[in-house]
Chain A
Amino acid sequence: MLKEKQARELLDKYFEGETSCAEEQQLRSFFTQARLPEDLVDYRPIFGYLDEESRKTAPRKSSKAVRIRFVYYAVSGVAASILILLGIFTFNRHTGQEMNSAYINGEKYTDIQIVHQQARAALAEVSFSQEDIADEMLPDEIK
């Protein structure tokens, strides 16, 4: 929570149109507290109203940070799946037994068709076209 002194500074910045959205969020939470200095009490409904309205408005877009994190998760997920599949097949080759099997969602499958199909579906789910990836990675200015 903001200290009173910081809040006053931010309030001045706010009226100059210089606050970021994050700072405005801090101001809003400051003005929701029960005890406010007397000269600031009158500002409460202004921030209260804006806060309420912005809650009613759907978030305009998922933030870029969230999207980039999603790409990282997806890429590491794909890498991990490939490693596991490779591991299973090399292990089986080394043991030399006719026992090709894979675990899908905890169940053991020996039918190579099913395993291929499931692996492909899993990869498709997390795959990106080149354009998708370029889109996520490039900074906005370049687009």
Chain B
Amino acid sequence: MELKEFKLRILPLRDKLCGFAAKILGSADDAEDATQDVMMKLWNKRHELDTCNSVEAFAMTMVRNTCIDMQRKDKGDTLSIDDLQIASNGSEQQFEMHEEAELVKQIIEHLPELQRNTIRMKDIEGYENDEIAEIIGCSSESVRSNLSRARKQVRTVYLQIVRERKRVC
């Protein structure tokens, strides 16, 4: 399934998915985040969707799971540094490049799902903001703002850990 078909078959489901998310989460803002996240996941699975009996049922299940994850992570907007101790308790005095890259990776993995997926699409898969907006059915301003939040969060946590390490050494 490519963009044309995705827009025809998946985007029309968006309102329904968002309504379902709002029912579970009880907040329109959170529901919008969940829906954007689900749209990205559906895009990533676009090749499997062709073999799906009911794309709608599949998408609704995805919304439910995403919402449950969001609730479990208590909205997950804050990233605790403790989560990242595995990466930062290296005993070596010198932190090598791959170790730092591993830290960046972990920080990205600990981002709230929507932010993580937005970074993945822009920074790794190379989609432009407009393209992401088109796929997930929101404004490119909203993509920009998610992306900005995600990147700033990575920067803050990363610099904090690295500078702390330097002080210790």
A and B form one complex: yes
A positions within 8 Å CB-CB of B: 14-18, 20-21, 24, 42-43, 45-46, 48-50, 52-54, 57, 59-60, 140, 143
A75 to B100, CA, bound (A): 51
Question: Is B148's CB under 8 angstroms from A143's CB?
Answer: no
B155 engages A53 (CB within 8 Å): no
- Residue B103 interfacial (CB < 8 Å): yes
The answer to whether B126 has its CB under 8 Å from any CB of chain A is yes
In the bound assembly, the distance between CA atoms of A85 and B116 in angstroms comes to 58
Bits for B141-165, please: 1 = Cβ < 8 Å to A, else 0. 0011111100110110011001100
Residues of B close to A24: CB separation below 8 A: 122-123
Do residues B151 and A14 form an inter-chain contact, with CB atoms below 8 A?
yes
22 A-B residue pairs with CB within 8 Å: A14-B151, A15-B152, A16-B144, A17-B122, A17-B147, A17-B148, A18-B144, A21-B128, A45-B103, A45-B158, A46-B104, A46-B158, A48-B97, A48-B101, A49-B105, A50-B123, A54-B123, A54-B124, A54-B125, A54-B126, A57-B124, A59-B126
Residues of A within 8 A of B163 (CB): 42
Given A17-B122, A57-B125, 14 additional A-B pairs, CB 8 A: A15-B155, A17-B129, A18-B144, A42-B162, A46-B104, A46-B154, A48-B100, A49-B101, A50-B104, A53-B123, A54-B123, A57-B126, A60-B126, A60-B127
List 9 A-B pairs, minimum CB-CB distance, nearest first.
A17-B147, A45-B100, A17-B148, A17-B144, A49-B101, A49-B104, A50-B123, A54-B124, A53-B124
Chain B nearest CB, measured from A3 CB (Å): 22
The reply on B167 being an interface residue by CB < 8 A is: no
- B3 contacts across to A, CB distance below 8 A: 140
Tell me the nearest residue of chain B to A18, going by C-beta: B144
- Residue B72 CB within 8 A of the other chain: no
Q: Are B124 and A46 in contact (CB under 8 A)?
A: no
- Shortest beta-carbon distance, A133 to chain B, in Å? 16
* Contact status of A45 and B125, CB under 8 A, knowing A15-B148, A17-B143, A17-B148: no
User: Which residues of B, 1-19, contact A by the 8 Å Cβ criterion?
Assistant: 3-4
A21 B126 Cβ-Cβ under 8 A? yes
CA distance A42 to B4 in the complex (A): 41
A15 to B148, CA, bound (A): 5
Q: 8 Å CB contacts to A: which residues of B94-139? A: 97, 100-101, 103-105, 122-129
